[in-house]
Structure formats: C-alpha cells, structure tokens
Amino acid sequence: MRFLDPVVLAQLRNLKLGALRRRAEGVAGGKHRSVAFAFNQEFAQHRAYSPGDELKYLDWKVYARKDRYFIRQSQEEQSLRAHLLVDTSGSMAFQLDGAAPKYEHACRVAAALAYLVLRDGDAAGLVTFDTEPGAVLPPRQSLAQLELIDSALAARVPSGKTDLGAVLHRVGARLGRRSLLILISDLLGEPSRVLEAVKAFRARKHEVVAIRVLDPAERDLDIEGAVRFEGLEDGETLLCDVEVVRAAYREAFERQLRLYESGFHQSGIPYVAVYTDEPPVRSIERLLSLFR
C-alpha cells in the first residue's frame, strides 16, 4: 500500500478510536446492543477492547489464552459506518521546501484512520471530491477495504477549482444512513459557506469530525524577496514583495483560523488543524486528544 507502511502500522498499534466511537454511537448508529439482548444470540466475531466498553461483554476464555482483552460481538450488533471525505482540489497539491504535499498528508491520515476503523470491526468508506464527488467507496467491514481505499486515493491527482461549500452539500446528498463523517481538507473556501455545509451533515443526523490539513508556509509565509505566486486552482499569478504583505497575510490567516475554530466549536463539531511537517500519526493523536 502506498499510504500505510509497517512503521506507521506499528505506531498505530496502541491507538484506539475509543471515545470518538462512543461519541458517534448515539448519533451515527454505532455499535450497540438491542435492549432485547438474548443469551442465544449468534456469535459473530471478537474485537479488541476499548476503554469504556462494558466489562460484561469481555471474553475471559480468550483473555486466558492471549492475555489480552477482547469483546464478543453478536450478529445483532450494528457496526459503526465511517465515511472519509477527502479533498482532491488543486490547492491540496501545495508543497514548499521539500515537505509532503497537503494531499499526501491527507491521504496518509485518511488511510491510518480507515485502518483504525476496520481493525475494530467497523465499516469504512471513502468519498473524494473537488468540484464534484469523485471516487465513492461505500463503507465495508472487511480489511480488504483498506487496499481499495489506498488505491482510490493513489489514483487521484489534486487539480481544478472547487466551491467547497457547494460540493459538500452535494456529497451530503449522496450519503446513506446516519454515519460518522471525517472531513479531511485544507478548507480553503468561504468559512461561512463551508460551516453551513458541514452543519447540514449534522442536520441529517450524521456525526462529523473536521481535520484541516495545512502547510506551515501557509501559516508563516516565511519566504523572502519578490515572489511570483501561482494559483493552483485558477492558474492566476501574482508578483509581490513578501516583506510588504507578510504581516497583513498572517493577520488574515489567523482571522480565518479563528473563524473556523469558533464556528466548529459553536456547532459542536470536533475540529483540528494539522500541518504537513508533522508525522501523520501525530496528526491522528491530536485529533483523538479532543475526545479525552
């Protein structure tokens, strides 16, 4: 696989979705048992124990053999459905000074999250988008789904314009029953329209998590001298002296950052901004820290 390697898989070993799954359970129809639970329910599979799981469902026979905790799942349990929504618009191709493109980082984060979902026996799917929804993989529980997600991400090349608010509305119209939606994007759009589209997901009873992927150069603009900037989505160019515009740019960047932070917070939507100079696993750790 292109976006997951043995080193990353080893780093993911001790990470659990835990509280994120429990947050999604009430809204997105995650793992839960019927109130009419019966002793003769047919056993389906085991999954690794996560903090917060009810101890009465631990399989002590498996613990005696493996010295690890596992939860027994019956066929009447409903699995969590997670859709990874990954931005493939032109701005996601941005990179500077040898750092990974934003799209590369987004794909690695998406693949790692898909692995965590599938490892626990839940269902993971994928939707890529630019001006329109692109690759669409309905959620599946099989670990073979991970290869399909990886291949679909690798087949996409960031390009073209996007109206992020509008395309997210179209993505939402394609989704089925209530799910956990993990949006991975640079969110370079009008914050009010993007927030409106994401809140529409909540109105459809989905649980939503937003991960904003940025390059440190977009935050700092630590470039010197006269620079010709070229738009990755519209191809327009702008020649300017960075020293002259740096302070105003940083102020505008911070203002947009605060708009997203406050907007997502007021909507009750977990949100984290991650940067391409950090390992993807660290990005996921910072996301999961929101739920502790």
How confident is the model over 109-123, as pLDDT tens digits? 999 999 999 998 899
What pairs with residue 204 in β-bridges? none
176: closest CA among 119, 136, 116? Answer: 136
Look at residue 32 in the predicted model and tell me its pLDDT: 40
Look at residue 35 in the predicted model and tell me its pLDDT: 31
Q: Cα dihedral angle (170, 150, 233, 181), rounded to 10 degrees?
A: 30
185: closest CA among 249, 115, 260? Answer: 260
Q: Over the stretch 29-43, which tens digit does the pLDDT of each residue have?
A: 444 433 323 333 445
Q: Domain spanning 79-215+265-291: which superfamily?
A: von Willebrand factor, type A domain (3.40.50.410)
pTM of the model as a whole: 0.80
User: How do 180-185 and 81-87 pair as beta strands?
Assistant: parallel
What angle separates helix 144-155 from helix 102-119, to the nearest 10 degrees? 170
The whole-number average pLDDT for the span 96-110 is 90
